[in-house]
Chains A and B, each alone.
Chain A
Amino acid sequence: MNNYLISSNLAISDNGFLFMSSTGETFTVNEIGKHILNEMKNRTDIEKIREKILEEYEVSEQILEKDLNDFLNQLNTYKLVEEI
């Protein structure tokens, strides 16, 4: 899985509200989305995040792979992350 660097302009609140200070755009994420973003903020490797979710949540590897890719693509589309 590719790795991404989260934008330093992105603020993440405890209830899943996101604010991009460079553009003024706002977003909302669900619980697991917030969890992923916080891990990314801590510079956790995507592969590691995937493993952690597999351990913590009731989900198959295939479904998680599909959903995680989709989520990262969305972050990329909104220019909240950069592929590294």
Chain B
Amino acid sequence: MNKKNYERPIITKQQSGFMNKFGASTLNLPKTEIDGVNVSDLANEYSSPLFVISEKKIRETQRNALRIFKTRYPKVQFAWSYKTNYLNAVCSVFHQEGSWAEVVSEFEYDRARKLGISGEHIFFNGPHKSDDSLTKAINDGAKIHIDHFDELYQIIELTNKLDKKANVAIRVNLDVGIYPKWDRFGFNYENGEAAQALKRISVTDKLNLIGLHMHIGTYMMSSEAYKIGVSKLVALANDLHQQNGTVLEYIDIGGGFPSNNTLKGQYLPAEQILPTLEQYADAITSSLFELKYPGNELPTLVLETGRALIDDAGSLISKVLATKRLSDGKRALIFDAGVNLLFTSFWYKHTISPAQQTGLYTENSKIFGPLCMNIDCLNENITLPTLKKNDLVVINRVGAYNMTQWMQFITLRPNVVMIMEDQSVELIREGEDLEYIMMKEKLPEKLKKL
């Protein structure tokens, strides 16, 4: 006789007075496959936890974004934001799609160069650029975005020493009506610092002023803020043109578009409250047309979009290590992936899908990672079907920032695979082992004897 499927017995107390007036349903549809590849096969072959990146999704998202901007503005150039995810395979997909590189350190600069990106196709941002890195950037013809006056003088000195011209832009910080105001990077617009920097550059013959750059924030939920920001950059560009006839090659509006992840403390799901990419594009391009260049000449619009292009393409497969009952009666689940791998769980309510068929009954659960640290909590309260030890889950939309901000802390970092467009699976970063972690350590001779 065939036995019935087992689901552990559950009792839930009904609470009155806590109804959700929006009546949002909690969808827990199982995700047994990623891009047609079985999740449990992936976990068996590459072990759990496992980061999975979809090549198809990256290409689709990038092409869609490019289409949205190109149908509104003729000259558009995306630059892949390395800090969002700098795995070689991920960067290469973006570069194959025509994206240039946007880097914020010498380490990222070297990564881009090693991947074969020419200097002219690199935007070099960030507040810290060493003499060595700037020398490389000047020699390679990279586009250097100056962050502060000390850096401006540093570049002037280096160009004199190298007797070479540098291609530069300045980063401008501006009030776009949002809080907090990001004024720690770049030159301020409102107090005239940006105009002053531009003036200084224009009288330096070894600096080639080719663009203006802004980056107004991260996970920006208002398209209006971009409209204001771009208007101010355009006003600067118009002034420059009027004063000395400078025609800029590009206006770089940075990144900051949100992904479809919902922030902690955000009541409604992200999909329901965020502007669409089309709305951002409308806001940005409409302001760009305020430029008064001769002969309708237009600078290239540069976008350094990161999370909005990669978040959806990344998933994290994790295994349930144990189920517990907390002192207040709440269900707790321990996953084999914690905050060491999922840095974004500090600010996102990641959706979690069971990777196998489950019953219809759900429980409010608290999700912990495997670390012996109290901070290792992935989600304080999530409605999930009844999961048991060894069940697999898929944590969705983890492509941005996790594979760069992950920590080697208590446990090692796991394998990362990419599901290719033809559904083959490629290991793109091997899981770390003890040898790898310890190879840079040196034990003083006198400590060797125990």
Cβ of B4 within 8 Å of any chain A Cβ, yes or no, is yes
The main secondary structure of chain A at its interface with chain B is helix
Partner of B8, one of A25, A32, A78: A32
A31-B359, A56-B4 known; 10 new pairs, CB 8 Å cut-off, are A28-B11, A29-B10, A29-B12, A30-B359, A30-B386, A32-B8, A33-B9, A35-B9, A56-B3, A63-B388
Docked Cα-Cα span, A71 to B10, in Å, equals: 6
Which residues of B, 1-21, contact A by the 8 Å Cβ criterion? 3-14
Q: Cα distance A73–B330 when bound, in Å?
A: 12
**A26 to B12 Cα, complex, angstroms:** 9
Give a binary string over A8-40; 1 marks a CB under 8 Å from any B CB, 0 the rest: 000000000010000001111111110110000
User: Is residue B295 contacting chain A, with contact meaning CB distance below 8 A?
Assistant: no
**Cβ–Cβ < 8 Å partners of B325 in chain A:** 70, 73-74
- Asked if A83 lies at the interface with its beta carbon under 8 angstroms from chain B, I say no
CB pair B6–A59 under 8 Å, yes or no, is: yes
Tell yes or no: B192 within 8 A of A by CB: no
Q: How large is the interface on B (under 10, 10 to 19, 20 to 34, 35 or more residues)?
A: 10 to 19
Q: Are B9 and A32 in contact (CB under 8 A)?
A: yes
Interface residues of B (CB under 8 A from A): 3-14, 325, 329, 359, 361, 386, 388-389
Interface flag for A82 (CB, 8 Å): no
Q: Which chain A positions have C-beta within 8 A of B4?
A: 56-58
Q: What is A's interface to B at a CB cutoff of 8 Å?
A: 18, 25-33, 35-36, 55-59, 63-64, 67-68, 70-71, 73-75, 77-78, 80
Contact with A57, one of B5, B10, B14, B388 (Cβ below 8 angstroms): B5
Interface pair A33/B10, CB less than 8 Å apart: yes
In the complex with contacts A30-B359, A63-B388, A57-B3 CB distance below 8 A: yes
Q: Is the CB of A74 within 8 A of B388?
A: no
Which partner residue on chain A sits nearest B361 by CB separation?
A30
Smallest CB–CB gap between A2 and chain B, Å? 16
26 examples of A-B residue contacts, CB within 8 angstroms: A27-B14, A29-B9, A29-B10, A29-B11, A29-B12, A30-B359, A31-B359, A32-B7, A32-B9, A33-B9, A33-B10, A33-B11, A35-B9, A36-B9, A55-B3, A57-B4, A57-B5, A57-B6, A63-B388, A67-B8, A67-B9, A71-B9, A71-B11, A74-B325, A75-B11, A78-B13
**B7 near A31: Cβ-Cβ < 8 Å:** yes
Instruction: Collect the chain A residues with CB atoms within 8 Å of residue B361's CB.
Output: 30-31
Complex contact A78–B6 (CB within 8 A): no
| Cα distance, A31 to B9, chains bound together (Å) | 8
Chain B neighbourhood of A80, CB < 8 A:
11
Give the Cβ gap from A65 to chain B, nearest Cβ, in Å.
Answer: 11
Closest Cβ neighbor of A73 among chain B residues: B325
A31 to B10, CA, bound (A): 9
